[in-house]
Amino acid sequence: MAPLARPRQPTRKIFRRIVLRYPMLRILLLLFCVSAALTGTAALGQDGRDLTEEARKQYAQGLREASAMVKDRQFANANAKLDVLLAQRPREPQARFLKGVVQTEQGQDAAAVATFAALIADYPELPEPYNNLAVLYAQKGEFEGARIALESAVKAAPDWPVAHENLGDIYIRLGAAEYATAAKLDRANKAAAGKLALARELIAPIPKPAAAASTAAPPKQ
């Protein structure tokens, strides 16, 4: 089955996605696309701290460097860079999001959950943190938590197909558990057994392909 599957921001396209595939679901981690647009007020203003134009450009460059390090899997270097950026602007969403990605990649799942949850609390309109939180829940088999997170992502970005696909994958996983229970309680129920077999086929392990190419998200209407 294809893994968990990003979104839209008012008047700006600042996202890049890296899709990671796991045996059960098509799961992805999303990276903010740190581009020249981040030098604008819209991109860096959310932290609430005034920056000079030069400082804004330097900060945007730091975000680009951190993003490149994550893409190159230089997680220790990226973590050090992000710590510096977050010391300057603790509420800056892109740096915090990248921090959560690094924590996830380094196996610091509890820290990553805390990072994405805090980001959601501060910026509930962003669907990416919900998606990555769902990834972490799904990896632990907490599919109900993943469902809730992905339904929030869909609500935040209703025209984001990736979130809908990921949510569909979670629904299948939850459905398989219910079909299994039905088939166990009534072994004569061939319909439930057939549905269970189909669901298991959909969530069967698939070969791990290369990471998907980066794509910009559609603009928010």
pLDDT tens digits along 66-84: 999 999 999 999 999 999 9
pLDDT band at 162 (very low <50, low <70, confident <90, very high): confident
Q: Residues 14, 159, 92, CA angle at the centre, nearest 5°?
A: 30
Q: Residues 109, 112, 116, CA angle at the centre, nearest 5°?
A: 140
Residue 176 in domain: yes
pLDDT at 12: 26
pLDDT band at 210 (very low <50, low <70, confident <90, very high): very low
User: Is it the case that residue 31 has pLDDT exceeding 70?
Assistant: no
Residue 102 in domain: yes
Greater confidence, 55 or 47? 55
User: Is it the case that residue 156 has pLDDT exceeding 90?
Assistant: yes
CATH number at residue 108: 1.25.40.10
Residue 217 in domain: no
Residue 3 in domain: no
Residue 207 in domain: no
Interhelix angle for 161-185 vs 190-202, to 10°? 140
Average pLDDT in the 87-94 region? 92
Residue 212 in domain: no
Domain hosting residue 181, numbered range: 15-202
Provide the number of structural domains found in the chain.
1
Residue 5 in domain: no
pLDDT band at 151 (very low <50, low <70, confident <90, very high): very high
Residue 140 in domain: yes
